[in-house]
């Protein structure tokens, strides 16, 4: 839960627009906003998607149908809603099945420009402006080495990393040119309840469920594993921070763990025999992230906080959440 001071003085009754609310991180951000009594507006492509994807979450708010590839529609949505904060959690390319080249550009770059233009238009027409909290990715750093600070020269190697970096740069350029407040929160290896089934922790859970082994890479890659609820907390905190135009902030723990150690910790928690984890059975992809420590000094300086959930606690909380998910309340949908 976010601190009570944020609940009482920060987001209570504040109009907040969430793009990408039905995704893994988007659902957690939305839940946190509901916890702190924000006036939440959720953009969804269709009502049926909201009902099916959010039915098990403790979420309530106003749902608005909006295709995020419709540039004029996005700008109109912002003008009509006049939100105080916009969370852009929409993106394309995290799911390995997402491979359409034009979608990378549309969702990771053009949408960012549409949001900034919408905020500028709203300010001109309605005399209201919005803080923009945009989600970036560790893949923007690519092959960059050394301590990863926000000023590190990015060297992305994938189309996802390149287009996410282009979105980060677009936000900075537009915010400076238009005089807007905004931040790109660069996320690293986020895990927890709701993540895609193909990812590491769900794959280990599935191996336990069906009683099978699991082929993995050698697992020597070092990652900054960050529990999703901590990520959502951090994003909300950034939404209330004293931001400049288009800042970049690493949103991570600052601690590195190998993929192998994470997998072993998960297997122990799930009570899957370690010998069923076949390390080295799969080749390590050439574009696999493997980085040096992540600097979180800027995050700590802006909000006086960094994620603190340990991997052991995060895995246990994930398992507990998954067991209790069926008891979650159905969200209250109001489609405008």
Is the pLDDT at 99 greater than 90, yes or no?
no
Which tens digits make up the pLDDT trace of 19-71? 999 889 999 999 999 999 999 999 987 766 566 555 655 777 888 999 999 99
Helix (H, G, I), strand (E, B) or coil at 125: helix
Which tens digits make up the pLDDT trace of 316-332? 999 998 777 644 444 44
Tokens at residue 147, please?
């301590």
Domains annotated for the chain, with CATH where assigned, are 12-327 (3.40.50.720)
Closest listed residue to residue 156, CA positions, set 165, 148, 147: 165
Instruction: Assess contact for 252 and 294: CB atoms under 8 A.
Output: yes
**Distance from CA of residue 168 to its chain's centroid?**
14
Instruction: Assess contact for 186 and 260: CB atoms under 8 A.
Output: no
Q: Which residues of 314-333 are buried (b: 16+ CB within 10 A; e: fewer)?
A: bbebbbeeeeeeeeeeebeb
Q: How confident is the model at residue 142 (pLDDT cuts 50, 70, 90)?
A: very high
Is the pLDDT at 120 greater than 80, yes or no?
yes
Average pLDDT rounded to a whole number, residues 212-240: 97
Q: Evaluate if pTM is beyond 0.85.
A: yes
Specify the pairing of strand 257-258 against strand 222-223: antiparallel
| 3-state secondary structure labels for all residues of 209-268 | HHCCCEEECCCCCEECEEEHHHHHHHHHHHHCCCCCCCEEEEECCCCCEEHHHHHHHHHH
Query: Quick one: 271 exposed, middle or buried, by C-beta within 10 A (0-12, 13-18, 19+)?
Result: exposed
What is the DSSP-derived secondary structure letter of residue 312?
H
Average pLDDT rounded to a whole number, residues 256-262: 97
Report pLDDT for 55: 63
Average pLDDT rounded to a whole number, residues 137-164: 94
How many other C-beta atoms lie within 10 A of the C-beta of residue 283? 9
């Amino acid at each position: 839960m976010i601190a009570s001071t944020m609940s009482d003085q920060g987001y209570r009754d504040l109009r907040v627009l969430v793009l990408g609310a039905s995704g893994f991180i988007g659902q957690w951000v939305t839940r946190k906003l509901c916890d702190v009594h924000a006036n939440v507006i959720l953009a969804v492509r269709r009502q049926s998607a909201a009902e099916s994807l959010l039915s098990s979450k403790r979420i309530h708010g106003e749902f608005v149908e909006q295709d995020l590839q419709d540039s004029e529609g996005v700008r109109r949505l912002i003008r009509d809603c006049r939100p105080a904060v916009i969370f852009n959690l929409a993106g394309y390319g995290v799911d390995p099945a997402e491979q359409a080249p034009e979608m990378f550009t549309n969702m990771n770059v053009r949408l960012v420009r549409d949001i900034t233009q919408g905020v500028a238009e709203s300010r001109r027409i309605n005399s209201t402006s919005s803080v923009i909290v945009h989600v970036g990715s560790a893949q923007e750093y690519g092959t960059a080495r050394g301590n990863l600070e926000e000023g590190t020269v990015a060297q992305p190697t994938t189309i996802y990393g390149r287009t996410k970096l282009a979105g980060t740069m677009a936000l900075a350029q537009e915010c400076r040119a238009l005089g807007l407040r905004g931040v790109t929160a660069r996320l690293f290896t986020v895990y927890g309840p709701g993540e895609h089934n193909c990812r590491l922790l769900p794959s280990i859970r599935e191996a336990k469920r069906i009683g099978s082994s699991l082929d993995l890479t050698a697992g020597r890659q070092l990652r900054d594993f960050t529990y999703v609820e901590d990520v959502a907390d951090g994003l909300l905190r950034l939404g209330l921070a004293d931001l400049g135009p288009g800042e970049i902030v690493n949103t991570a723990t600052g601690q590195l763990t190998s993929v192998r150690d994470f997998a072993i910790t998960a297997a122990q928690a799930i009570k899957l025999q370690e010998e069923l984890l076949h390390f080295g059975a799969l080749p390590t992809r050439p574009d696999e992230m493997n980085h040096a420590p992540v600097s979180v000094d800027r995050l700590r300086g802006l909000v006086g906080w960094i994620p603190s959930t340990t991997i052991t606690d995060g895995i246990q909380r994930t398992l507990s959440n998954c067991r209790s998910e069926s008891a979650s309340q159905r969200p209250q949908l109001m489609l405008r």
